[in-house]
Copies of this chain bind each other. A is one copy, B any other.
């Protein structure tokens, strides 16, 4: 049995739960968080020296960190990772895009609003910068999703699951999705999939 060390409100953790749900994997959940210091204990740092969630404990007791590395690992040899070499490479491309150009904007701006302890960091300058960067990321997604159902190839993949994680909560970060009809339709497409779970599940 695998164990997911996670913070339930984190989109980075939710995307792993969403992938595991679609893959019908059974796993246990342990709530840890930087908010109460439980990711900074020596026990947790021995599992993941960088002290972040999600961290996955495999059934042999070894550990794996980085949300999108976990997605690729659990998706290997399943329908969630394209077999075609180019579609697979585009899946990788979207996963790196998510961590470099999307999450540091859209997840970070949401965190400034929903976690009271971050309020002091929410300066007008920082909020404006994150709004602009997040909209740039959304525009890149819209270019693809205006004309295609899925981000990589012609079927749902971990690229869609990874980007769904924080895009579907973009409104909590003050982003308006109205200018992005392709994204809006894609969000609805994912939410309607059999086996879907929500951030609150």
- Chain A residues within 8 Å of B, Cβ to Cβ: 49-50, 58, 62, 64-70, 72-73, 76, 85-86, 88-90, 92-93, 95-97, 99-101, 103-104, 140, 143
Whether A73 touches B85, Cβ cut-off 8 Å, given contacts A64-B93, A66-B96, is: yes
**A78–B49 Cα gap in the complex (Å)?**
29
Most chain B beta-carbon neighbours within 10 Å: one of A49, A89, A95:
A89
Residues of the B chain whose Cβ atoms lie less than 8 Å from the Cβ of A85? 73, 76
Closest chain B residue to A50 by CB distance? Answer: B140
**A89–B55 Cα gap in the complex (Å)?**
13
**A50–B137 Cα gap in the complex (Å)?**
9
Residues of the B chain whose Cβ atoms lie less than 8 Å from the Cβ of A89? 64, 69-70, 72-73
Residues of the B chain whose Cβ atoms lie less than 8 Å from the Cβ of A101? 50
**A100–B12 Cα gap in the complex (Å)?**
13
**A88–B62 Cα gap in the complex (Å)?**
13
Residues of the B chain whose Cβ atoms lie less than 8 Å from the Cβ of A72? 89, 92
Min CB–CB distance A2 → chain B (angstroms): 12
Closest chain B residue to A97 by CB distance? Answer: B66
